[in-house]
Structure 1
Amino acid sequence: MEATTLPALAALIGSAAGALSSFAANWTTHWVHLNGGRSATEIAKREALYDKFIDEASRAFAHAQSCQEDNPSMVVPLFALVSRMRLISPPEVISAAEVVMVAVVDAYAAPNRSFREIREEVAAGVADPLRPFGEICRQDIEGSKR
């Protein structure tokens, strides 16, 4: 091998290694950024779904307190939202949502309650069937952000 070939070959290999490491760093940065964006989007979807379920369940539960319905259409939106949760939510959230659905259906089957009875339950801390669901959702969202 000639004396000038070895330094040229070393320079060529060094340039290739530098270019490859630059490419790898850029690709890794882009991949991490892309996945971070997906995670934020997924979290936002779950937050919106949980928010909608809480609104719908609250409305149905309040309606059930003063009305005995034989109309299943009052709880169909809850079933639809839980089915959507099954696509993207962890099992703990789905279980908590199902407990809320049962509480709403049971409230429709129960006798109507006066505002005084509801106020006493609120004072005793037993009137919020959505509290466990909300806490589990918060844990899910916080865990996903880490």
Structure 2
Amino acid sequence: MNTTLLSAMAALFGASIAGLTSVVTQRTQAKAEWLAHDRMRRQDLYKEFIEEASHCYVHALQHDEPDLAALVNLFAKISRMRVQSSTEVANEADQVGRKIVDTYHVPEKTFLQLREMLADGSIDILGRFSDVCRVEFDSLRAQQF
């Protein structure tokens, strides 16, 4: 075999491997960037949901009439979670929304009753939601590596 042909084939093979490595590296970086962006979007959505749910819950504890605009915003965030999040997160967010709506049907709470709810932990309707979100983020981090 001709040494020139052998050298040309080795160069072509080397260039092919380098190109393939570059494509794989770029694809891996693009996936990592997409996952990081997705995680940030979810974090922002969950933060907004927690703030909105907290506001709605306090309102429900203190009033008989619902704040419809706030509830619509809350359920809009839940709908966004159905698109962007795991089923577990979306379901738990839905449960939080239902608890808030149901709270409007119970008598208004006095400060003493709120203090008792704080002491026994029953005021925390977002605890399970936070736990499910943490599991989801752990899963997303595992996918990244």
TM-score where L is the length of structure 2: 0.93
In terms of Rg, which structure is larger?
A: 1
8 Å contact kept, 1:57–1:100: yes
* Secondary structure of 1:75 counterpart: helix
Equivalent residue pairs, number = 142
Q: Which residue of 2 aligns with 1:14?
A: 10
Task: State the match for 2:81 in structure 1.
Answer: 85
In structure 2, the gaps of 5 or more residues are: none
Alignment of 1:50-65 (within 5 A): 50-65=46-61
Q: Report the aligned-residue RMSD.
A: 1.2
1:74 Cα deviation from its structure 2 partner: 3.5
1:129 alignment partner, one of 122, 125, 137: 125
Partner of 1:38: 34
Does the 8 A contact of 2:60 with 2:66 survive in 1? no
Shift of 1:12: 1.0
Structure 1 unaligned runs (5+)?
Answer: none
What code does the residue aligned with 2:38 have?
Answer: E
Q: Aligned-pair distance for 1:73?
A: 2.9
TM-score (norm 1): 0.93
Larger relative contact order, structure 1 or 2 (CA cutoff 8 Å, min sep 6): 1
